Structure 1
Amino acid sequence: MIPQLYIFLGLLLFSLHGAPPYSAAAVNDTLLAGESIAVSDKLMSRNGKFTLGFFQPSVVSKSGNITSPNWYVGIWFSNISEFTTVWVANRDNPVTDLQLNQTRLKLSNDGNLVISSNASTIWSSATVANTTIATTMNTTSVVLANNGNLMIIGSSSTSNVSWQSFEHPADVMLPGAKFGWNKATGATIKYFSKKNLIDPGLGLYYFQLDNTGIVLARSNPAKTYWSWSSQQSSKAISLLNQLMSINPQTRGRINMTYVDNNEEEYYAYILLDESLNVYGVLDISGQLIINVWSQDTRSWQQVYTQPISPCTAYATCGPFTICNSLAHPVCNCMESFSQTSPEDWEVGNRTVGCSRNTPLDCGNMTSSTDVFQAIARVQLPSNTPQRVDNATTQSKCAQACLSYCSCNAYSYENNICSIWHGDLLSVNSNDGIDNSSEEVLYLRLSAKDVPSSRKNNRKTIVGVIIATCIASFLVMLMLILLILRKKCLHTSQLVGGIVAFRYSDLCHGTKNFSEKLGGGGFGSVSKGVLSDSTIIAVKKLDGAHQGEKQFRAEVSSIGLIQHINLVKLIGFCCEGDKRLLVYEHMVNGSLDAHLFQSKATILNWTTRYNLAIGVARGLSYLHQSCKECIIHCDIKPENILLDASFTPKIADFGMAAFVGRNFSRVLTTFRGTVGYLAPEWISGVAITPKVDVYSFGMVLLEMLSGKRNSQKVCIDDNSNQVAPFPVTAISKLLEGDVRSLVDPKLNGDFSLEEAERLCKVAYWCIQDNEVDRPTMSEVVLVLEGLHNLDMPPMPRLLAALAL
């Protein structure tokens, strides 16, 4: 229920960006019958918020300013520096430069609002017929209202509206506009996206409310990609208003309404603060976006977007593309494909997609030279595939695809062969939000688009030579380690560095690993004692490949550095296929046990706060004080150990990544633990130390509450509706009610000032954009009370990632 409610929020608030308006003084808010507006004239609402006139759309792209050759009549925000239209009359009937000087917008004698050039009608409201000229001349006028609604009204009463732009919208919904349908006539108010950034004509996507509920769909081909039942609407409105109150930019300034009676059903939203500039738009991509104007940044701020992922809309990137919702840009051509129309892509229309660089080899279907490239962790194409039942192996499935010239890809999963003919649509990368696919698509390519066999052979030879050199180096390194080990064992002492232990010694010291301290996917941890009575914890790594990777990562990271808030690696064992790591023993175990287990020692507030500072200092040291920046990649309570005095020690560096000081980020494989993962992990882009900052923020919330972030709690005292703790906690923070968030096991014994500070830090750490997160050194300063933070905004992806 909760994800749908977040999606539904976007439907209640819907930007068309264009060129700056033609420089001319505003007239007034009314146009009388027989009067007209030329290209240099304007109407302006009485409050000065909206202007109506002629405009020419334009957009600033990488190649410069692109301006449409056509003109339109529309309404835009008057007092916003970024030109933003909210309604367009002649969407599909533009005015050309040749027509412009003769074109007028006028209220005709028959009561219609008309755009005409000479004797030719370009657009008409076409709502009033069989009305006498005399009556119309005396009673009808056009008014641009303070809410941006353009109305044809009778002069005797402003309630006598014969036509209004709110009932004939473009792609934008303003406060006061209804989104719904008339039960008597069946008429619906439908919003259509625009074609591109310089063409406001009808695009491919629309949404409407009918007798079944809300529908978000593509028109050609007809495809519904999201819907919401009306039966759930009335009980959702209260929660939607609650959600709007979460964001400081909209809290107390917008009220959502839902009406369902015998005559009509509709949704609307009204402004409680008339100074707020807000609008919502059905974007070119088929995504609903809520925008609020920020006077501080003098730009539109996205308060919310729904669906959460810009890849959800059907075929939003066009054929032969991959959509990655966390990448920038989200749409990219598949390997060995290029943009079909770069001009369209530049103005925001990506639905034309991509085309092959090299034609396939279709001359002989039995001996095609084409090859396949694997695209992992993607949603398979949405167009229906052909199932090949007699292809019982992957090679046979590939051959089945090669036997058709029209086949462009195949998949082979669970012994099922599927091949796709024609365009490949809606191939979306796993983003962990609304797409968690682990499937593999095999894309058919011309052999000319991949390295030749000669190059491959050359690479193979070079690879063999490099591998031989590395192997020789490793052999020499192992000999050195053996010598060091013998010296260490003979003397039983080691001054500086780490000890290379014999496997038999560790078996003896741990009584054959009989006293287990813990375990997991990596292997097991056992308690032991060295000959000098030092108590140790021995991690025994399982799995030849993964164990080797973790072994090398730990030895090369924590084995080379020392810090009071990092666990100390005493030594290791590397005999045959056995990989073991020897650490100092932490008598108080891991943080998760004290936070989440009922029988564990309850950590008082002072201890918790000092733990937060200690972990922050440890991460700051890893990120900024080592020779290479070390990104831990798996910060969570299970990897924070506590010594006898409850000093925190960051442990488990098996997933650590290294970044040279001359670089800012590193490209590495997906790793970490669900619930603590930063959004950029899922996108496949290069990471920075800010992924650790995000994980640390999630840990802080768990330290504050004493419960898992995934645990759902009531949204408020008067509601039975629940949401994950981070979603409800920020609402309490913004309301100034941090006290209710603190672990009840503390019985109110805590510092409210420190709790508020910790909560603010946590939410700044888990911001969606890594740029908005602080560094760990900044976090240390804040937690130590040496620096202050403003109130954090609500992370937009938080709800989706937490569920």
Structure 2
Amino acid sequence: MDSNDSSQYIFLWNNSRPYLTDGKYDPSTGAFSGIPEMTPIRNSIYAFQYVDNNEEAYFMVTVKNDNILFRLTIDVSSQAKSTVWVADRNQWMLFFLQPKEKCVVYSMCGSFSSNSSAPKARKDKFYVMNNVRLPDWSRTVPAENIDNLDGSGDTIFIRLAASELPDSKTKKWRVVSIIIGGFILLVCGVITCICFLRKRTMKAIIPIAVDGHLTTLKYSDLQLITKSFSEKLGSGSFGSVFKGALPDKTVVAVKKLEGFRQGEKQVRAEMSTIRTIHHINLVRLLGFCSHGAQRLLVCEHMQNGSLDRHLFVNNAGALSWSRRYQIAIGISKGLPYLHERCRDCIIHCDIKPDNILLDASFVPKVADFGLAKLLGRDFSRVLTSMRGTIGYLAHDVQTLLDPESVDVIDLEELGRACKVACWCVQDEESSRPSMGEIVQILEGFVDVSIPPVPRYLHVLAERANHVEISINE
């Protein structure tokens, strides 16, 4: 009992330090406040008696039935346990326990304690010291030269708290993490260097698209911007076209010319002249490459591809009459610029739908100068040799007409186009209009009369009639 307060029962650690109190005795309940199990109940096997007078103070626990085995113990955990023997189960059953938690008792939990019931409790570990030995006597000896030792030392294990020793698994994972982290940093560094060198290399190509002063390119540069010519846009009679991208995200088209027989000096001279051409209806040449026998051109990229895709491919979007007419006018404006406004007269020699490209707004641009011929300003007559796509004839005219668009065709524009087309195929060269005159006619600034029927059309008509008569006979 507490010597300072006789109505309170306490537990002492090491017979000196109190570590638990059961509270004061309450006469109304007949139990200590900290031990509700002492409260009298019917059929209880216990009887509690508390005595407090001038001579003494104590309380007593009595088992009502002598046949019942009762035990009250305090084990190494300093917990008071009351147990009853149950014969049917052949075991001791816990009746009450004080204190409820082990950690209430001083030094039972924490470092160097014996409590390991917590979910995350960590047991003590041993620190290993090799080649040492405890002395066989109480006195120490002076330190000796290590060479004089016989190597008969033992291994000593010193018990320490787990928190004071490094975790072998943690150390292993730390080493692995450092290795993996170093490898990742190395890979990132290599990738960064490659990207830096790639960007630095590609920056040399940027002036091509910016100011156009650089005439020739390296073949390795073209391989870089086209990803080794991996994305093919299409192919024509004089080469294949590949998609490329400059460092500033500008998309370009790179064409490999095939079947070239001209000398390198002549090709360079012609490409230098063509490179200076700037017109809204002409595809701008950005660069040129001569690599061995290969000739490559770098040009603007046209988002809507070539005109033939929109005229002859079924799944392509149909062009309205108004758009087709504006495309014809645009082509007619580009060609006189080549013929009349350049320093050297340039004859394209291969005008056809395949070589007419359309940008995002369907503005036509004449492309593919692979067969372009440069002539001086003093040339006296046109070229007489066969050039371009020999025997080329567009698909049947019927395929160019959209039956659903007849109502929206401007008949006046259609009449001007038909008259111009007939004047362009006249037998006499002097009867044919120039490209500048064609633009004025199509735009309605100049009236044009009905042309005479060309001689070869008469021949075709006579042959058709002859065939029809033969069939009827």
What is the TM-score normalised by the length of structure 1? 0.30
How far did 1:558 drift? 2.5
Is 1:752 the counterpart of 2:437? The answer is no
How far did 1:550 drift? 9.7
Matched with 1:771 is 430
Q: Provide the C-alpha distance between the structure 2 equivalents of 1:753 and 1:550, rounded to a whole number of angstroms.
A: 46
Matched with 1:349 is none
Contact 2:205 2:221 in 1 (8 A): no
> Hey, which of these two has a bigger chunk of strand by percent?
1
Matched with 1:789 is 448
Aligned-pair identity in percent equals 56
Is 1:659 the counterpart of 2:369? The answer is no
What amino acid is aligned across from residue 409 of structure 2 in structure 1?
F
Contact 2:308 2:353 in 1 (8 A): yes
| Secondary structure, aligned partner of 1:748 | helix
Unmatched tracts of structure 2, length 5 or more: 1-199, 464-473
Alignment partner for residue 536 of structure 1, among 243, 248, 252? 252
Q: Provide the C-alpha distance between the structure 1 equivalents of 2:363 and 2:326, rounded to a whole number of angstroms.
A: 8
Deviations 1:178-230 (A, max 9, x none): xxxxxxxxxxxxxxxxxxxxxxxxxxxxxxxxxxxxxxxxxxxxxxxxxxxxx
Matched with 2:344 is 628
What amino acid is aligned across from residue 622 of structure 1 in structure 2?
L
| Secondary structure, aligned partner of 2:222 | helix
Alignment partner for residue 643 of structure 1, among 347, 352, 359? 359
Matched with 1:576 is 292
Alignment partner for residue 711 of structure 1, among 396, 402, 412? 396
Q: Provide the C-alpha distance between the structure 1 equivalents of 2:311 and 2:355, rounded to a whole number of angstroms.
A: 13
| Secondary structure, aligned partner of 1:594 | helix
| Secondary structure, aligned partner of 2:287 | strand
Q: Provide the C-alpha distance between the structure 2 equivalents of 1:785 and 1:627, rounded to a whole number of angstroms.
A: 29
Q: Provide the C-alpha distance between the structure 2 equivalents of 1:712 and 1:667, rounded to a whole number of angstroms.
A: 28
Deviations 1:483-538 (A, max 9, x none): xxx99964842534345322122112212212111113322111111111110110
Q: Provide the C-alpha distance between the structure 2 equivalents of 1:527 and 1:650, rounded to a whole number of angstroms.
A: 18
| Secondary structure, aligned partner of 2:279 | coil
Correspondence list, 1:449-528, <5 A: 490=204, 492-493=206-207, 495-528=211-244
Q: Provide the C-alpha distance between the structure 2 equivalents of 1:754 and 1:760, rounded to a whole number of angstroms.
A: 10
> Hey, which of these two has a bigger chunk of helix by percent?
2
Correspondence list, 1:722-741, <5 A: none
What amino acid is aligned across from residue 754 of structure 1 in structure 2?
E
What is the TM-score normalised by the length of structure 2? 0.50
Moved more, 540-549 or 511-520: 540-549
How far did 1:768 drift? 1.8
Q: Structure 1 residues 623, 487: closer, same or farther in 2, change over 3 A?
A: farther
Q: Provide the C-alpha distance between the structure 1 equivalents of 2:322 and 2:295, rounded to a whole number of angstroms.
A: 39
What amino acid is aligned across from residue 309 of structure 2 in structure 1?
A
Q: Provide the C-alpha distance between the structure 1 equivalents of 2:300 and 2:235, rounded to a whole number of angstroms.
A: 17
Contact 1:588 1:646 in 2 (8 A): yes
Q: Structure 1 residues 515, 607: closer, same or farther in 2, change over 3 A?
A: same
What amino acid is aligned across from residue 290 of structure 2 in structure 1?
C
Correspondence list, 1:325-724, <5 A: 490=204, 492-493=206-207, 495-543=211-259, 545=261, 551-552=267-268, 555-667=271-383, 669-674=385-390, 709=394, 711=396
What amino acid is aligned across from residue 407 of structure 2 in structure 1?
G
Deviations 1:111-155 (A, max 9, x none): xxxxxxxxxxxxxxxxxxxxxxxxxxxxxxxxxxxxxxxxxxxxx
How far did 1:577 drift? 2.7
Q: How many residues align?
A: 261
Contact 2:239 2:257 in 1 (8 A): yes
How far did 1:801 drift? 8.8
Q: Provide the C-alpha distance between the structure 2 equivalents of 1:712 and 1:533, rounded to a whole number of angstroms.
A: 40
Q: Provide the C-alpha distance between the structure 2 equivalents of 1:576 and 1:672, rounded to a whole number of angstroms.
A: 25
Is 1:761 the counterpart of 2:408? The answer is no
How far did 1:755 drift? 0.8
Correspondence list, 1:66-465, <5 A: none
Higher Rg: 2
Q: Structure 1 residues 552, 792: closer, same or farther in 2, change over 3 A?
A: farther
Unmatched tracts of structure 1, length 5 or more: 1-485, 677-707, 714-724, 726-740
Q: Provide the C-alpha distance between the structure 1 equivalents of 2:377 and 2:402, rounded to a whole number of angstroms.
A: 40
How far did 1:781 drift? 0.7
Q: Provide the C-alpha distance between the structure 1 equivalents of 2:252 and 2:443, rounded to a whole number of angstroms.
A: 32
Coordinate RMSD, CA, aligned: 3.1
